[in-house]
Amino acid sequence: MSHSQAVQRIGIVGLGYVGLPLAVAFAEAGIPVVGVDKDLNKVTALNVGESYIEDVSDGRLRPLIATEVLRPTKDYAMLEEVEAVVICLPTPLSGHREPNLSVVVGGAEAVARHLRPGALVVLESTTYPGTTREVLLPIFETDGRRVGEDFHLAFCPERVDPGNRRYTLQNTPRILGGITEGCTLKAKALYSKVAEELHLVSSPESAEMAKILENVFRSVNIALVNELAILCERMGIDVWEVVEAASTKPFGFMPFYPGPGLGGHCIPVDPFYLSWRARAFEMTTEFIELAGRINVGMPRYAFGRIAAALNADKKPLNGSRILILGVSYKANIGDLRESPSLSILKLLSGSGANVAYHDPHIPFLPDQKLSSVGLTREEIRRADCVVIATDHDAMDLRMVVDSASRVLDLRNAVRKRFGAPLPPHVDVL
């Protein structure tokens, strides 16, 4: 293959929330895809046309598998067939909230062993500015290979919002930054097959920082409104009414809403990548770290509000039955990553509460040895306190309010659905 030949086949490494929808998008665009994942259960499920990602239906997946336009495998050697590889591997935080790039590094090393001459490599995994150049480039510049000549390398941050029907992989603009201008143009040619709008930047570092900025912006503003929610509760002020009122200003204000904590694959994690990286430049990112502390502390604040709600009914936390409604990190999806509900559940169980949960999207919590209970009047009446932790549309909150003796609404869900005023047995964050 000549170095100038257009991409005819693509490899996607990591078939999770980011990689699988991307693989399906390229396959639907007519580009044969090799999907690599080390998880045999995922590969097996995909090869029989069963999707484990809510944004990819079995109906979309099966014809792609049947026609072998999408070929899932554990074998990195199959990447020798492709002209471009996109790495979509997880970048979690360590127990000390520092970046853990071991999965990405391991994946990149495996890709490097099977990289075709002239191939394009794109990293989508969210990480700190400098990763593409300082960590990935040396992995691929081995055996005499030179970037821009023997291979091409770029960064294109994922912007997946699970469950979002308005902004999809196709109509959400993509940011591209390559090691060289030629690398950027190679990436542009590839992503133009699946994205309606592309924004090119001068370097991978700019693209990496742009992704971090998006989520730092949200983290800091969510922390601000969470802190105000705590203050408003002490002052006897309705924070939801305050945010609604401030939102009437047609300029200069963007509403953010309080809640029991941050969840998902980006906002709880990405800011810590930047604050860690900043220490290498002898700088403390005080706003980011303060926001992180506030948001990390919100599950414990919610736990305290549950205890206070029980206390209002002269009931101890120890021995009381708590029904948690919703354990995924956001409404209408089954994604548990960094979900604050799990932290709240752990705090309650550790304090002797009898905890049950209902979530139409998550039937089991194996680590907690719990199964979702039915949302029935009997189950609601059994609970000393019902906690609305995630506002799934499928949950019958009218029945919850009518049947429960005490409700703590961490999402303002009751008022959003039925309006004010709240019944006296319903408390809101």
The residues annotated with a catalytic role in the active site are 266
How far is 164 from 423, CA to CA, in rounded Å? 32
Coil vs helix vs strand at 349: helix
SS3 of 114-131: the string is CCCCCCEEEECCCCCCCH
Q: Residue 93 in contact with residue 271, Cβ under 8 Å?
A: no
How far is 269 from 97, CA to CA, in rounded Å? 8
Could you count the other beta carbons within 10 Å of the beta carbon of residue 334? 18
The DSSP call for residue 419 is -
Classify each residue of 410-424 as buried b or exposed e, where b means 16 or more C-beta atoms within 10 Å of its C-beta.
Answer: bbbbbbeeeeeebee
The DSSP call for residue 187 is H
How far is 392 from 330, CA to CA, in rounded Å? 8
Q: Give helix 286-312 / helix 270-279 axis angle, nearest 10°.
A: 140
Coil vs helix vs strand at 35: strand
Q: Which residues pair with 151 in a beta bridge?
A: 147
The strand pair at 33-36 and 70-73 is best described as parallel
Q: Residue 361 in contact with residue 375, Cβ under 8 Å?
A: no
Q: Residue 383 in contact with residue 376, Cβ under 8 Å?
A: no
Could you tell me how many residues make up the chain?
429
Can you spell out the DSSP letters for 85-110? EEE-----B-TTS-B--HHHHHHHHH
Could you count the other beta carbons within 10 Å of the beta carbon of residue 256? 19
